[in-house]
Structure 1
Amino acid sequence: MENSTVTAYEFTPTTYYETGEDSENIYRFVQIFSIVVFSITFILGITGNGMVLWIAGFKMRKTVNIIWFLNLAVADFGFDALFPLEITEWIMDEHWPFGQTMCKVMYTVLFLNMSVSTSFLMIISVDRCLLIMFPVWSKQHRSHKTAWTISAAVWLTCFMLSSPYLAFFNIDHDITDNATYCIAFYSHDYDTYNMRYTTMLMVRFVSMFLIPFSIIVICYSLILFRLRRIRSLSRKNRPLKVIVTIVLCFFGFWFPYHIWPLLEVMDVEVNPTVDYVMFHLVNCIGFFNSCVNPMVYVFAGRDFKKTLFKSIPSYLENTLKEKEISETEHQFDQVAMETEMEAYSL
């Protein structure tokens, strides 16, 4: 690996052109693709998460379920709200016109909201698992106060994990093309740079993918096992479909995003052109997840055909509603199947 403080993941157009590849066409393709995907993500995310915020925040009683969904929507909405800055940056050939403070704030908030979003997906899966496995205990211990306390702890913890980006992200003026870029710069010393860069990548991978994904898989596996014992998965295997959708969405969006930068840490040799294209591709895939959750609420939470006969706001409200779990095993059996989507949907 070349002894340089600029990694493959802080490419600017200038550094990419210097590789001697067919850079102009490839860069323009990446530029247009990123602008299109970010624009779609922004429109869908602001619309979908805004609708969830409106319904969960103003039209529904604040149950524990609604508190989780509200926090998740706030995180995703805040993430989507940053896309106009990203789109502007791409339109200006990745030049950063918003100054150093916005550079630091934007990427810190970006990583904060990503971390919060994945954390609440994990918390929802744990809560659903406890609700199915231990209905009586959950009935006794699930409270608004506990939910708000957990929510505050999640935001605080995620902010602490994201706060180093306030120090690391800075604007850099490139005299070659007389442009300013917003990049992460960890140190002037090569060894210190690599150590900090690797540490941040590993913290991101463990806290935003490895731990949440492992817990999500374990929780939903336990839910499926419990349901098979209570009653066979009938009704078109709806719980199974929803659970598979949840797990595959989380893995499909976040695994490429986190694993690609780690290839450099593992000293995997990658062609610079492929590296540049793949880095931005996995970013687009990961970022698109922020607008997917409302879609999962609507389309995975009920039979798709039924959505044609309901308005999206009323449909989302229907999906988010939470039934009370009975204290008796006989009642639990009945309620669990009647409210399967409330227990399994995001």
Structure 2
Amino acid sequence: MANVTSEENMAYAAVYGSVMVFGLPLNAMSLWILLQRHSLSSSNAVFMVNLALSDLLLVISLPMRVYFFATGNWPLGIYACTFITMLFFNNVRSSTIFITFISVDRLLAVVYPLRSKLLRTPSNAWKATALGWLFVVLVNIPEGKNFYKDLYRCNASTCFSFPNCTVDSTAALYFQCALVVTLLAVNVVSTAMVTWTLHRHLNDSVRLNNKVNVMLIFAMNLIMFIIFFLPLSVVGLLNNVKPALKPTLCLASMNCCLDPLLYYFSLDAFWKKKKEDSDS
């Protein structure tokens, strides 16, 4: 990697290092609280546990990124680089999927509270998350093969610098962009429907006594999509994964530091023992 001590590369190392330092304890603590105090007794908690696991997988892929951008060296070979890169891209896809599951779950809880009772069960939530993980892994297989071919044709030492001698990945880029835009549209529609319902029941303090928290959940979901996920998908497509991919990847990694706020606002009494979480 040319000019490995450049300010740009050191900036990448600093950002990834900061995400690792904050993301690891925040998500580990959030996962512990979700498992110990919310007992996976609601669909919402199940989705959040999987989102926290996804973020932790991202975090464990960051130390070698920090090392690479700080030194310009990749000592672990092609297979390790491919695996760590796929862990990173997996987080982008799994995070968008699980965040969308959380939005739809909140939509059903607010707009269709009675009719959705039988649908919003932990069992169904686990089935949905299993399908989400399976989807991510299946997408990962061809993408990982293409990335491996790139490194093999160029040089394993290039790793996260994305060399110019790449294979055609237009289909994968279109797919990534279409996935993020589609899930963003689901979040926008969910936000609109919940906002309309909350406005209609503005004085209903019994059923909708946490309106501010509910709207914060949807606002945060939209912010994470628009700021962290959408630029990576659109810029990667328009620029053929070249100069703009590294900064948008760096930006996307920051989402794991904000997800713990989502858990706090999504679950009543997040820090306390579970009371009626299954009804939230």
**TM-score of the two chains, using structure 1 as the length reference:** 0.69
Match of 1:163 among 141, 144, 149: 141
Alignment partner, residue 81 of structure 1? 60
Q: Deviations over 1:57-95 (max 9, x none)?
A: 2333212221111000000111111100111111221x3
Whether 2:190 is the aligned partner of 1:219: answer yes
Match of 1:117 among 92, 95, 104: 95
Does the Cα contact within 8 Å between 2:20 and 2:62 map onto a contact in 1? yes
Match of 1:258 among 233, 236, 241: 233
Tell me: CA distance 1:223–1:253, structure 2 relative to 1, closer, same or farther (3 Å).
same
Amino acid at match of 1:180: S
Alignment partner, residue 243 of structure 1? 218
1:141 is displaced (CA, Å) by 2.5
Alignment partner, residue 317 of structure 1? 271
1:36 is displaced (CA, Å) by 0.9
Which secondary structure does the structure 2 equivalent of 1:115 belong to?
helix
Does the Cα contact within 8 Å between 2:82 and 2:147 map onto a contact in 1? yes
Match of 2:178 among 201, 206, 220: 206
Does the Cα contact within 8 Å between 1:301 and 1:319 map onto a contact in 2? no
Alignment partner, residue 46 of structure 2? 67
Cα distance in structure 1, aligned partners of 2:107 and 2:273: 18
Amino acid at match of 1:288: M
1:162 is displaced (CA, Å) by 1.5
Amino acid at match of 1:280: K
Cα distance in structure 1, aligned partners of 2:162 and 2:222: 34
Alignment partner, residue 158 of structure 2? 181
Amino acid at match of 1:134: Y
Flag the structure with larger Rg: 1
Which secondary structure does the structure 2 equivalent of 1:68 belong to?
helix
1:262 is displaced (CA, Å) by 1.8
Q: Deviations over 1:153-187 (max 9, x none)?
A: 11001111111132122345878xxx82226999x
Q: Deviations over 1:180-214 (max 9, x none)?
A: 2226999x8x9xx33xx11111111122x111111
Match of 2:74 among 68, 90, 96: 96
Structure 2: gaps of 5 or more residues: none
Which secondary structure does the structure 2 equivalent of 1:125 belong to?
helix
1:45 is displaced (CA, Å) by 1.0
Alignment partner, residue 142 of structure 1? 120
Does the Cα contact within 8 Å between 2:187 and 2:218 map onto a contact in 1? no
Cα distance in structure 2, aligned partners of 1:32 and 1:315: 40
Which secondary structure does the structure 2 equivalent of 1:317 belong to?
coil
- Percent identity of the aligned residues? 22
Cα distance in structure 1, aligned partners of 2:21 and 2:203: 40
Alignment partner, residue 3 of structure 1? none
Structure 1: gaps of 5 or more residues: 1-11, 14-23, 266-274, 303-313, 326-341
1:242 is displaced (CA, Å) by 4.4
Which secondary structure does the structure 1 equivalent of 2:75 belong to?
coil
Q: Deviations over 1:90-110 (max 9, x none)?
A: 1221x3211122122112222
**TM-score of the two chains, using structure 2 as the length reference:** 0.84
Whether 2:25 is the aligned partner of 1:53: answer no
1:129 is displaced (CA, Å) by 0.6
Q: Deviations over 1:213-261 (max 9, x none)?
A: 1101111110010111111699997244443233123211112212212
Whether 2:271 is the aligned partner of 1:292: answer no
Does the Cα contact within 8 Å between 1:65 and 1:322 map onto a contact in 2? no
